[in-house]
A and B are shown apart, each in its own frame.
Chain A
Amino acid sequence: MMSGIDHPLRRTRLSTTGSLLLVLLTLLLCLPVQAANSLPESTEPLRQQLCTEVTEELRSLRQENARNNRELKREIAALHHALNRPGPRDILAGIGYILGLFGAAAFVAARRRTSSPSDRS
């Protein structure tokens, strides 16, 4: 399962685990006969160590991502809230509507009063 990610990841993590790897590689190069026999046994713990390290790294990354996602979601919700809140334009529009409606009503009332003959007398 790890062979696909193992190789490039091992290369990228060479800087951090570089010293350990270098020691092991030189040991392998210097003792070719022994290495031929002991290769599966010697790489198996290293492989496992790398595996646990990588999974550890992945887990911490996932946790960090989850935290960031939650933060972003909270921010988006706050933005939604702020967007839905009426701004000064809505307020002015409403006041304008009210004054316009009552102005029209006053106009109609005034017209009715001046045009009806019973009121004029």
Chain B
Amino acid sequence: MHISDGVLPATLIFSTFALTGAGVAYSLRKIPPEELPKIAVVTAAFFVASLIHLPLGPTSVHLLLPGLVGILLGPAAAFLSITVGVVLQSILFQFGGLTALGANSLMMGVPAIACGLFFSLFQGSTVRSRVAASAVAGGCGTLLAALVLAGWLAASGEHFFGVARLALVAHLPVALIEAIVSASTVSFIHRVKPEMLVWSRSLSPAAHDSTG
């Protein structure tokens, strides 16, 4: 799920680039320095995840992981992480065009932000609630990305509902797999390092001031 060169109109290219730049600037201001290694590792995982192809019937699907990035990093850091990952995927793997970088970053970044917020609101503190929240966030992240993709294509002249239905149906199995992956990841982290899941505390202004 990447948009190639020459699909989007020029106005959309510029506006998505501007939005992505603003998002990255906001992320950079918000991130506490001690979070950087964790962000780097999650970014590397996101970057590599799209290469893991799972055979599915006649075709194969690959993981997208915007939901898991949002869950693990929180909204602010997730956007920077996604943007870096998408830029490198575009340069090294030719996934998506260079002019569509902004659109592709937003396509993954906005669901990551939404999933991060959702997870922080609904995670609770027990294993069960966290696993459930992460499964929902992981699955919805992919579907949300498919919806954003349909939105971009609609802006470039396609019919929104047709594209949206196609993208949603094509990504239903991916969403299911991502829900499972997110849930198992979160349940593992909950067992071995539960404090990793409460990024909201380390990102809150008070904690940021006390550490800075």
Q: Which of A84, A102, A106, A119 has the most CB of B within 10 A?
A: A102
B47, A106: Cβ atoms closer than 8 Å = no
A32 at the interface (CB under 8 A from B): no
Closest Cβ–Cβ distance, residue A101 to chain B (whole Å) = 6
| In contact, B92 and A86 (Cβ under 8 angstroms) | yes
Number of interface residues of B (CB under 8 A): 18
In contact, B40 and A102 (Cβ under 8 angstroms): yes
- State A99–B92 Cα separation when bound (angstroms): 15
Asked whether any CB of chain B lies closer than 8 Å to the CB of A94, the reply is yes
User: Which residues of the other chain, A, contact B92 by a CB distance below 8 angstroms?
Assistant: 86, 90, 93-94, 97
What's the count of A-B pairs with C-beta under 8 Å? 49
User: When chains A and B are docked, how far (Å) is the Cα of A119 from the Cα of B88?
Assistant: 34
- Is residue B51 within 8 Å, beta carbon to beta carbon, of the partner chain? yes
A62-97 vs B, Cβ < 8 Å mask (1 yes, 0 no): 000000000000000000000010100011011101
Known contacts A101-B84, A109-B36; 17 further A-B pairs (Cβ under 8 A): A90-B92, A91-B51, A94-B47, A94-B48, A94-B88, A94-B93, A95-B48, A98-B43, A98-B85, A99-B44, A102-B36, A102-B43, A103-B40, A105-B36, A109-B33, A113-B212, A119-B212
6 A-B pairs closest in CB distance? A102-B40, A109-B33, A106-B36, A86-B93, A90-B92, A94-B88
